[in-house]
Structure formats: structure tokens, C-alpha cells
Structure 1
Amino acid sequence: MTSVVILGGGPGGYEAALVAAQLGGQVTLIERDGLGGAAVLTDCVPSKTLIATAEVMSSLRRADELGLRIVSNGDDSVLSSIQVDLARINQRVMDLASAQSRDITAKLTAQGIRLMNGNGRLDGTERVVVQHANGTVESIDADIILVATGTTPRELPTAKCDGERILNWKQVYGLTELPKKLIVVGSGVTGAEFASAYDELDVDVVLVSSRDKVLPGEDADAAEVLQDVFERRGMQILSRSRAVAATRDGDEVVVTLEDGREVRGSHCLMAVGATPNTADMGLEQAGVALTASGHIVTDRVSRTSARGVYAAGDCTGVFALASVAAMQGRIAMWHALGDAVAPLDLKRVSSNVFTTPEIATVGMSQDECDKSELRIAQITLPLFTNARAKMQGLRDGFVKLFCLPVTGIIVGGVVVAPHASELIHPIAVAVGERLTVDQFSHDFTVYPSLSGSIAEAARQLHTHDQIADLTV
């Protein structure tokens, strides 16, 4: 029986373990913090649970417009009657994360996978040394090794996180009271999501961004919509402002900017990226190539430069998405154990930013289309033209589609709307299956629905030569 040893119990690790067990491998999975990894315990599950609460607050902000009020002697708006209990919110967040971790543990155990609580390191390419949580050490022979050890929040030497006032994204769930003023350093996906959530929970938020706009890595039109929404809601955005330090001053935090300005708040959330958990694991000694940043170099079937050693997830620096990590892990086991396998295709990856509104993308980006030698056809439909959006009082957002000239094959799309993470799936199917705008538009959508705008965009892209560049 083939011995498979997996280091890391996040999506890349536990999904790989399930596939390896299904294909007859003798599987050992080593995890030090809990099954599910950061995605379940401190990242995706907790953050999106917090955001779900913030979404309710966002809906309540439209209550007056929709005709919902509370009768009282004072302020009779619905929103004024809601009190945010952060301690209860965060308790629910962590309870859900723990429950998800237990579910994963039960699923792996039921498949006969050996679970070990501890730290593993490579001893060459055919052995893993495990230091158990109780201090004992064990050596395991391995025919196949998968490294899926994830990342750790990056910290600035001059902004050490203390878990009380200066926080990283793992520590924020320890708060029991709403910050009076939260300074979020970093305007990437993590920073934007937390800034959006706490702003919806009625916290005074200051977002420190080193770039011109929030979300510099996302669609520029989508980022512009989100920045406009943030500013209209009263969030202070300090663009082109790089934070160089964060220090405690009593019950306040002082964030110092590169130009000498100081920003004061009650709390600070550092969202300045992550570093891979690849140090002191024997990787380089085993012949595993690393990038300058410490990420593991892999090919499209998750192989590293060392024979028999694979890697998956955020430690590879491919895409910091749980869905990608899980697919990398599955592909690794399919390849290693001789099953049918297709290389990882990043053009088919859907991603989402869980702000209000959400931003979902798949396939070619606007920047790639603009730089392409092909005259990519595109269309943008504002959300406020959609009947369902009007009924729900939604104004901010759009649907954007890209297709090839002549053939009309859909190659990408962007959705900015509530629950864009759900709406992007039909576009992802179209990109993955190379559907044309005509094929796509001939299928029925529910009326009224937000998804109707996606079909309408496809219909408007139908032209005789498919080379029009349409913007409505």
C-alpha cells in the first residue's frame, strides 16, 4: 500500500487526504492547530460569518426606503433599534469554525485517515519527522509527501500585533466590544472585507491604502464602485498613504504614515499580507525549490522540484483561495496515485471579495482584455437597470462580460452586486465550457432576478461580427 504523508490540515491537505484514501493510499495527515486549517479556524469561515452579520445590517439600512419602520417616541428608524453585541457575534463565529473543524475531523476519521497533532518536517524525500504536541518524536516513511502548510499573517517590525489593540486577522475575533475607531492598514482583499464589515456594524473606520484606490488587484471599475460606496457611507480612506509603524498609547493606537502624519484610533487591524509557513521544514535540504519570498515552486500538477514531493495551497503562492488549495491537493493525489488528471487551469477560477457590495470575477480580466491582440468584445450593464435590483433598493454595482470576436465565446466576467459569489457561477460555467454569448443567452433566467442582467449582457453582445465594444 502506498504511504501518503500530508503536512497541513487546511483545504489543500484534507481534500488531498480524502482523494488519497479513496484511491487506496495509506494516509497520515499532520496538523498542529486543528483540522480545516486557517481557512476554517481563523480565515474564511470566521470572516464570512462576521460578514454575514454585517450583511443583515446593510439590509436594515434600506429598511426605511422599503417602507419598514419601528414606532417609538424617538427615532423610529429600524436601524436605530438594533444593538450590535460583538462578544456574541464573535462567539458564534468561533463556534461555527469549531463545528466545521469537527465535521472535517469526523469525515477524515471515517475514511481511515490517521490524524496526528503536531509539527512535521521533511527528512529527505521519503521520510517525515513528526514532533507530537506532547513532545514525543516519530519518524514516518513516505512514498508521497504533500506540503500544505499555509501562511501566517505578515507583521511589520514596527507594528507588532499584541492581540488587544493592534491585531492581525487571526486575532480580531477576540474582541468583545466594538472598536470606537478602527484603523485598517492595507486595502487588499482582507483589509477591504474587514473595513466593509466593521463599517456596516457602525464602527468609525479609517482605511489606510498605499495605492490610489482600494483593491488594487481587482477589476478597476469594480474597485471604483466599492471606493465610492465606502466614501458615501462615511469611511475615511487615506489613499497613497503607506503605514510604517503602529504603537500603543494608553487606550489608543497611533499609526504613523510614511509622510509623518499620525492616525489615532482605539484599535488597528494590520492586513499587510502573509508569509508562507515553509521555514525550518527541511524543504531546501530535500531539494524543494523555494521562491525569494519562501513560497514553494510547483508545476500545474502540484509537483515540486523534489521527486515524490508535492505542494498545495497558500504556501505555493498560486492563488490564496481555499478552492484553489483544495483543487491543488486533489490534483496532486490524482497525479501521484496514477488517476486521470487535468492540470490546474487558473482561467477557470472564480474569486470573490466579500465586501458590500461583493465583487466576483472569473476568466480574463479587464487589463488582460485591454492588452490582448484580439479585439475582445465587452459590455457593462449597471445594476440599477435591473428590475429585481430596483425592488430591493439596490443601486451600486454592474455586470460585465467579455467575449472573443467572431466566435462570441465568453472568456471572462465581473459581477458587482449583493451575493455576487453566487451570481458568478453561470459565467464560470460559460468560461469553462467555452460557451458563446448566443448559447448563453438562449437559456432561461427567472424574472425578476439579478441573474437576468447576466443573460441580458450576453444578448446585447450578439452582433454580426462580434467585435463591438459596448458600454451601457
Structure 2
Amino acid sequence: MAFDYDLFVIGGGSGGVRAARVAAATGAKVGLAEEFRMGGTCVIRGCVPKKLMVFASGFSEMFADAGAYGWDLTPGPFDWGKFRPKLHAELDRLEGIYRKLLGNSDVTIFDARAALKDPHTVTLSTGEEITAKHILVATGGRPVVPDLPGAEHAITSNEVFLLDDMPKSILIVGGGYIASEFAGIMNGLGVKTTQYYRSEQILRGFDNEARGIVADGMREKGVDLQVNTNVVSMEKRDDGILVKDTHGRDLLFDQVMFATGRRPNTDDMGLETAGVLLGRGGEVVVDEYSQTGVPSIYAIGDVTNRVQLTPVAIREGMAFVETVFKGNPTPVDHALIPSAIFTQPEMGTVGLSEEAASAQEPVEVYATTFKPMNHAFAGREDRVLMKLIISKQSRKVLGCHIVADHAGEMIQMAGIAIKMGATKEDFDRTVAVHPTMAEELVTMKEPVRTT
């Protein structure tokens, strides 16, 4: 059978775009459909605008610290009306780059919603039907809004970049990295920020000691972080949104933002009709090669709910092309992925938490907390954590956890060594760079505890 395309990609996010471009470079005829804007969650409503807002929010603390360093500055309030147009202009620029990259790669772009008709046929919202030898689903995910009275009055991380005005007060509901990052952002921009999380500690799944220091640091910086607390109902008032919480309190906020999880974008796509198996959370079930149970259909990125990180989606897209178009079966490696949480304070992590490692085998824990030089000089109470989890048997570094300014930059470098199988003794043999925070990673001589 002759197909219109060798590969048809559904979704123009980072993973889908990379897969389309690299497949086209092999000589394959490639089409790609995107119903919204090219660039996906990361570029349009995720990593990129969020990180720019993290940068913006950090200046309030820098201005405050400047006086301690001899600078005479008189900071004014944050001007959202000045920042927002520049933010959206940057997103427009990046979307243009994505489109240009696809065009230069001879990928045909369809600005339309796509759904599956059968294992080799895609139907577009324009009415077109397209056949393809291989179909790659890369539709990402979306925020989930809890089912409670008045939930429609809240925003999510999708809408936060589109606000007409910066609120004077905000309630952020959730305890994951998105909720915690935006709590720091809003607080740094001068918004009175409250965060509710239903469980005992934010950042579930990360190292307990590290997330405790992040939570303490957030409170120290002014976030009203309340754990074991959730929203029961919300009511729109002329002067804001009235929130009833699980403690029976009625509190008024200018804005409420839900960051209570994400769901794969698989609704109304014809996936199950085409024979694709979906998991309980709506995710596309795939094997180690990103192949579904239907041989012609693959899926990568957040829609598979494996590891929800942009660089992972890109890696999965590259592995897909190696497997399908280069004849080199390449499973996706999801082990020892470094990641950063752009909370304030920032956190970087790679490998196992202390809790996960100690449940697996006997370990030694090397850790130190201290006031960093720059903040101590300015009279701040901020604390840094440097932590290594070591296998007692192999001496390999099983996990590294950093809470500090620029933790993301540090963990990228530490991740290389740990991915290579570095031992504690390899770290010890490395000469310290002084004076830095990261030198503590190579100067900790005695474990603080063994498990």
C-alpha cells in the first residue's frame, strides 16, 4: 500500500518536532499536525515562560541584598504590564524558530487537530484524511482541575502567563514542583502568596531532607505554605474569590491557581478505536521502544506519562527515529535523569532519594547544610544542602541532592559523573573549587548516618 507519508506526527511540542526533523533527515516523508501553537507546553506555557518569570521574581531579593553590598538602590513595584509583552514576544520568537526548523527540514505542517481513524489513517479538523506508514503520538498533557464547587473560578499554569493584571493576593493549590515554583514566583513578584497542600510535605517523591529545606526556605522568604490543607469550595465575589478550606475557614483571595496534577492529552483522539491501549490515567501504554500494541503507532513524551520532562521527550523522539528509520533498535534510557525544581530556594536532584536508596540496600549518607557566603553576608537565613547517597557495597553514588542558588546548573555537572558510575572515592579525589558552594560535594569525609 502506498502511504501519503512515511511518518505522521501528532503534536508540535519539543519531542514531536525533534522526531519529525530527525526522521525527515533520513529521507523520510514527514507530516506534523499541531492544533495550538508550535513548541508545546515547554515553550508556550511551561519551562520557558516559567523560567523567565523565575528570573523576574528573583530581582526583589537581589535589590534587598544590594544594600548589604554597598549599593544604594530604591526598588519600585514589579510592572507586569511591562514584562508581559516582552514575555509573549519571546514566545512568539521561539515558536517562529520551531516552524522554521520544521520547514527547513521539509516537514509538512498542518495547523489542525488530528485524530486516528485506524492504524494508518489520521483525520484532521480541516476534513482531510492522511495515511502514514508510521504514526507518532506526541500530544503532551494538560493541567487537571479538581472537581469541587466553584473550581471554574480558578486558573491553572496554562492561564497564569495570560493574566491581564498581577493579583495582590493568590492561593496556589498543590504541592508538586509546578505549584511550588509558582508560589516562589508570585511571592518574589510582590504578590501575597498562600500555598495549600493536602499532605504533610510538598514535593512528594523527592528526598525528604531536601524537600524539607525547600519548604523551610519558601516560608522564610514569605510564602504562607500550609500543609495538610485543601480547598473544599470556592465562590466568586465582587472583591475576589472566597475559599472554604478543610479547616472550616473562609478566606478571600484575588486569584486562585490549581496545580494539582496533569493528565495526558488522549481524549477524543480515536486511539482506542485504532486499537491503542490507554492506562488508568489516560496515558498511552508503550514498550521500551515507545511502541504501542499497534505496530504502526508509537508515542513519546508526557502523553505516555513515563518521565514528564522536556529533555526526556526529546530523547524518546531520537530513540524512536533510531529504531524505526535507522534500523538501530534503541530502547529509551530513563535511569539517572538529572532534574531541577526552580523553587526558591532551587533544588537539583539525580538518582535515588535517601529513603528509596536505603530501602534498596545499605547506604552511607554524606550531607551538610550551611549558610552560603552571599546570603550570610546580606544577613539572610537561607540554608544550602549538599547531599550524597552512597552504596556501602559498591561505593557508587546512588543519589545527589542540592538545595541552593543555581542548583540546576550544579546537578547537570554532577549528573554526568553519577551516570558514568562515579564512586564516593572519585568525588574525594576531585580537587575542590574554592570558594564555592559545590566544593562541599567533594570535601565531605565522614557520613552523617548509615542505613
TM-score, scaled relative to structure 2? 0.93
- 2:263 aligned residue: 275
Q: How does 1:408-447 map to 2 (within 5 A)?
A: 408-447=395-434
Cα distance change, pair 265–389 in 1 and its aligned pair in 2 (3 A): closer
Q: Distance in 2 between matches of 1:217 and 1:59?
A: 31
The 2-side partners of 1:127 and 1:284 are apart by 14
Q: How far does residue 445 in structure 1 lie from its aligned partner after superposition?
A: 4.8
The residue aligned with 2:119 is: 125
How many residue pairs get matched?
446
- Partner of residue 138, structure 2: 148
- 1:58-112 deviation per Cα after TM superposition (whole angstroms, max 9, x unaligned): 3223223333334xxxxxxx4xx22200122222222212211111111111111
Contact 2:351 2:400 in 1 (8 A): yes
> Per the alignment, in what secondary structure is the counterpart of residue 349 of structure 2?
strand
The secondary structure found in structure 2 opposite 1:348 is coil
Please list, as runs of the form range in 1=range in 2, the aligned pairs for 1:202-351 lying within 5 A after superposition.
Answer: 202-351=190-339
The answer (yes or no) to whether the contact 2:427–2:441 under 8 Å persists in 1 is no
- With over 3 angstroms needed to count, the CA separation of the structure-2 counterparts of 1:200 and 1:32, relative to structure 1, is same
CA contact under 8 A between 1:161 and 1:168: conserved in structure 2?
A: no
State, as a whole percentage, how many aligned pairs show the same letter. Answer: 26
Is the contact made by 2:114 and 2:123 (CA closer than 8 Å) also made in structure 1?
yes
Equivalent pair of 1:388/1:450 in contact (CA under 8 Å):
no
391-400 vs 106-115, greater mean Cα deviation: 391-400
Residues 371-423 of structure 1, C-alpha deviations (whole Å, 9 max, x = no match): 11x21222112243x66775677742211112222432222211111111100
Structure 1: distance between partners of 2:349 and 2:22: 28
Residue from 40, 50, 54 that aligns with 1:47: 50
* Residue 290 of structure 1: how far off its partner (Å): 0.6
Alignment check: 8 A CA contact 1:32 1:117 kept: yes
CA distance in 1 between counterparts of 2:117 and 2:163 reads 41
Equivalent of residue 168 in structure 1, options 139, 148, 156: 156
The question of 1:98 aligning with 2:85 is answered no
- Cα distance in structure 2, aligned partners of 1:171 and 1:340: 41
Once structures 1 and 2 are overlaid, which stretch shifts more, 244-253 or 282-291? Answer: 244-253
Q: CA deviation at 1:144?
A: 1.1
Counterparts in 2 of 1:300 and 1:94: CA distance versus 1, 3 Å: same
Deviation of 1:160 (Å) = 5.7
User: Which stretch of the first structure deviates more once superposed, 341-350 or 415-424?
Assistant: 341-350
Which residue matches 2:185?
A: 197
Instruction: Give the letter aligned to residue 43 of structure 2.
Output: V
Q: Which runs of 5+ in 1 are unaligned?
A: 71-77, 462-467
Distance 1:408 1:387 in 2: 31
State the SS of the aligned residue for 2:109: strand
Letter in 1 for 2:392: P
- The residue identity in structure 2 corresponding to 1:452 is E
Structure 2 residue aligned with 1:449: 436
CA distance in 1, matches of 2:200, 2:179: 15
Relative to structure 1, the CA distance from residue 325 to residue 27 in structure 2 (aligned partners, 3 Å threshold; closer, same or farther) is same
Matched, 1:5 2:8: yes
Asked whether the equivalents of residues 350 and 424 of structure 1 are also in contact (C-alpha less than 8 Å), the reply is: yes
Task: Report the CA distance shift for 1:204/1:389 in structure 2 as closer, same or farther (over 3 A).
Answer: closer
Name the counterpart of 2:147. Answer: 157
User: What CA distance in whole angstroms lies between the structure 1 residues aligned with 2:379 and 2:389?
Assistant: 27
Which residue identity is paired with 1:154? V
Q: 2 CA distance for matches of 1:412 and 1:226? A: 18
Displacement after TM superposition at 1:469 (Å): 5.2
Amino acid in the other structure paired with 1:408: R
Report SS of the residue matched to 1:62.
Answer: helix
Q: Which amino acid aligns with 1:360?
A: G
* Structure 1 residues 161 and 51: CA distance shift in structure 2, 3 A: farther
SS state of the match for residue 64, structure 1? helix
Please, what TM-score do these two structures have when normalized by structure 1? Answer: 0.89
Q: Deviations over 1:250-308 (max 9, x none)?
A: 13111222343222111111111122210111111111111111111112221111112
Asked whether the 8 Å contact 1:412–1:427 carries over to 2, the reply is no
Structure 1 residue 439 displacement after superposition: 2.5
1:6-155 counterparts in 2 under 5 A? 6-70=9-73, 78=74, 81-131=75-125, 136-155=126-145
Q: CA RMSD in A?
A: 2.2
1:339 Cα deviation after fit: 4.2
The answer to whether structure 1 residue 376 and structure 2 residue 363 are counterparts is yes
Q: Does structure 2 retain, via aligned residues, the 8 Å contact 1:181–1:203?
A: yes
| Cα distance change, pair 161–173 in 1 and its aligned pair in 2 (3 A) | farther
- 1:289–1:297: 8 Å Cα contact kept in structure 2? yes
